[in-house]
Structure 1
């Protein structure tokens, strides 16, 4: 498939995953329809998990301007659905009103929803009417009851405040933002990797949460602080390096190491690589089309596995099909929708290099086929 065909495949896959969630929410029937048979003790959190995580991944495509034809018609349709879904999720009178208040998990997924506001400031955030905006801000503030753990949860707290900031709420808490940024500066381990707290974890949380949120938070708030503006190039250099490592983890057949926590988020493990492509901070030696082909291989390899979905189109736990043994006790059906984060480059126009340039082998393919390449090297900041 060329870039045009790959884009169509990515879009169709994202909508295949996301349509059941958004359709149910626009009908205000997500609480009725979302499967509740896996880790049922987490059911009350599942609805916000599914919605917030999906929105976080879809937002750049919804934000896109100057699309044409069939894809633009779909974008308009799904943007309208997303706006209606936000209303359904935050209106206290809605049967799909979500739990933002219980201490713990709601902070996590309120943060993913807030991240969507940052990623689509014109098509989502600016289009919310005053009633919905008020409900959303109120819902986000309810998560302040949770004192975040000293790990990636600090970024969830900071991202909620970033969401309030972009909503124009004067009551956003700068201290929560500052604390998260400065703690992660202290927890940097080297060569593009942060600890998840003081400790290093060999998993994908630098891509699931830490670096995508850190990059976008520092980009939003750099205008508010000279010290943040000075930190931004350091944070971007580290993110660039980690994105390069992620590309190198993709094997010639599109598989990748299944290691650490939360592997059932599937190709959401590559969120930071997708974000680097979207925001144009890939390493200069990593062509965008090469990243496109690598990520396409990952997506296709997973999607071709039987059993990823139930009979009604809802995701099931696993990586390649239905593999419930890979899921931790905190995983429910809603959790799985963080996989949508891989689709961020759909926020680039079809004419941009990522989609328009000819196919390229990715790093492992080049090496495995005998091609000579520049050696890899560590980042020293």
Structure 2
């Protein structure tokens, strides 16, 4: 019988392996298809695939098993990931990526930076000195890009957090501006607006809350007000994770709300992150979160035509639905779905991986006892 953890590992490998194998061999531009509505996505899609894949796989690479079959797979993927970073940042590489032309590179350099924060040993310290130099130069190149007045401010900020972690000069103003604006955009009850307006979508999970938490983890002790903000952000993060868990239906479905639905179960990055951090609300058993996320992963991953014949993800929410791809969506974009696998950074003996438990909506619709839901006031 396949355990949930083994299913997760197999699913992550199925998704991530084509990206990392092709790029580690400097063949990503040759091998990866580019499904998109807009012709210009060829300029951005490869960095999207790299940054998003590594953002999701990073905790497993950093703290996953060192022995057994899973340990062998982890070590192999980590080595390919390091070669992929080299290929993407080496100006002489055929897969050298665009870090400064157009606006989109800021987004995916940020996901790459976030991966470095999540796996500093595997994805940075073990790089050769020349690769470290090229990586820093690539991240710094994004400073010419002016972020959109939205969640994009956090992309600039997380790049600066990574540069700080790498021992490079970093820009405090870019970080402070992003933090201050998102505090102004806080809408209440654990949710932020995406810029001045609130949007019904999953961007609190795709971007906003995970980046706020990861940035403040690294830089929260730099200033007293950042330290105070970190406490607020974590409290809101606990609440929003609970909301996400309640959105998962008894059948493992969730509402197709808002834009970027082609990121599939990446919509639950924030719930996965809080599970990884072991900072779920008291009423949430880790096992019920695992069971809920497993149901979602299976529901979407096992839909026909989720992958093409060569094993690359296709645009869609449930299978292949090209019409759901906004103008900024392309094949590389889809790999944000890997962020649901963040809890693979927890060891197999952790409570998250033990036992079976029904999640909130499943218990509710079975007529069982569930906690009364409550808003938070700050």
TM, length-normalised to structure 2: 0.98
Query: Is 2:231 the partner of 1:214?
Result: no
Question: 1:121 corresponds to which residue?
Answer: 120
Instruction: Find 1:303's aligned residue among 298, 301, 310.
Output: 301
Q: Evaluate the alpha carbon distance shift between residue 46 and residue 65 of structure 1 in structure 2; reply closer, same or farther with a 3 A threshold.
A: closer
Q: Please tell me whether the aligned partners of residues 103 and 145 of structure 1 are also in contact (alpha carbons under 8 angstroms).
A: no
3-state secondary structure, aligned to 1:123: helix
3-state secondary structure, aligned to 2:220: helix
* Cα distance between partner residues in 2 of 1:262 and 1:374: 31
Q: Please tell me whether the aligned partners of residues 289 and 354 of structure 1 are also in contact (alpha carbons under 8 angstroms).
A: yes
Equivalences, count = 377
* Cα distance between partner residues in 2 of 1:345 and 1:316: 24
Q: Evaluate the alpha carbon distance shift between residue 276 and residue 37 of structure 1 in structure 2; reply closer, same or farther with a 3 A threshold.
A: closer
3-state secondary structure, aligned to 2:187: strand
Query: Which runs of structure 2 are paired with 1:69-88 in the superposition (5 Å)?
Result: 69-88=68-87
Q: Please tell me whether the aligned partners of residues 64 and 344 of structure 2 are also in contact (alpha carbons under 8 angstroms).
A: no
Q: Please tell me whether the aligned partners of residues 276 and 282 of structure 1 are also in contact (alpha carbons under 8 angstroms).
A: yes
Q: Please tell me whether the aligned partners of residues 46 and 334 of structure 1 are also in contact (alpha carbons under 8 angstroms).
A: yes
Q: String of CA shifts for 1:269-325, please: whole Å, max 9, x gaps.
A: 000000000011100110100000000000001111000011100100001100011
* Cα distance between partner residues in 1 of 2:90 and 2:99: 12
* Cα distance between partner residues in 1 of 2:131 and 2:164: 16
Question: 1:377 corresponds to which residue?
Answer: 374
**Could you tell me how far 1:37 is from its partner in structure 2?**
4.1
**Could you tell me how far 1:66 is from its partner in structure 2?**
5.0
**Could you tell me how far 1:65 is from its partner in structure 2?**
5.3
**Could you tell me how far 1:134 is from its partner in structure 2?**
0.6
RMSD (Å) for aligned C-alpha atoms = 1.0
Question: 1:5 corresponds to which residue?
Answer: 3
TM, length-normalised to structure 1: 0.97
Question: 1:19 corresponds to which residue?
Answer: 17
3-state secondary structure, aligned to 1:367: helix
Q: Evaluate the alpha carbon distance shift between residue 22 and residue 65 of structure 1 in structure 2; reply closer, same or farther with a 3 A threshold.
A: closer
Question: 2:356 corresponds to which residue?
Answer: 359
3-state secondary structure, aligned to 1:136: helix
Q: Please tell me whether the aligned partners of residues 159 and 217 of structure 1 are also in contact (alpha carbons under 8 angstroms).
A: yes
Query: Is 2:272 the partner of 1:274?
Result: yes
3-state secondary structure, aligned to 2:120: coil
Q: String of CA shifts for 1:59-116, please: whole Å, max 9, x gaps.
A: 0000015543111111111110110000000000000000001030000000000000
Unaligned runs of 5+ in 1: none
Q: Please tell me whether the aligned partners of residues 25 and 85 of structure 1 are also in contact (alpha carbons under 8 angstroms).
A: yes
3-state secondary structure, aligned to 1:124: helix
Question: 1:224 corresponds to which residue?
Answer: 222
Question: 1:347 corresponds to which residue?
Answer: 345
Q: String of CA shifts for 1:167-206, please: whole Å, max 9, x gaps.
A: 111x211110111011101110000000001100000000
Question: 1:158 corresponds to which residue?
Answer: 157
* Cα distance between partner residues in 2 of 1:65 and 1:343: 12
Query: Is 2:105 the partner of 1:106?
Result: yes
**Could you tell me how far 1:137 is from its partner in structure 2?**
0.6
Q: String of CA shifts for 1:19-74, please: whole Å, max 9, x gaps.
A: 00001011100011111243333111000001100000000000015543111111
3-state secondary structure, aligned to 1:224: coil
**Could you tell me how far 1:231 is from its partner in structure 2?**
1.2
Question: 1:256 corresponds to which residue?
Answer: 254
Question: 1:284 corresponds to which residue?
Answer: 282
Instruction: Find 2:202's aligned residue among 198, 201, 204.
Output: 204
* Cα distance between partner residues in 1 of 2:343 and 2:189: 25
Question: 1:147 corresponds to which residue?
Answer: 146
3-state secondary structure, aligned to 2:3: helix
Unaligned runs of 5+ in 2: none
* Cα distance between partner residues in 2 of 1:228 and 1:42: 36
3-state secondary structure, aligned to 2:147: coil
Q: Please tell me whether the aligned partners of residues 90 and 136 of structure 1 are also in contact (alpha carbons under 8 angstroms).
A: yes
Question: 1:239 corresponds to which residue?
Answer: 237
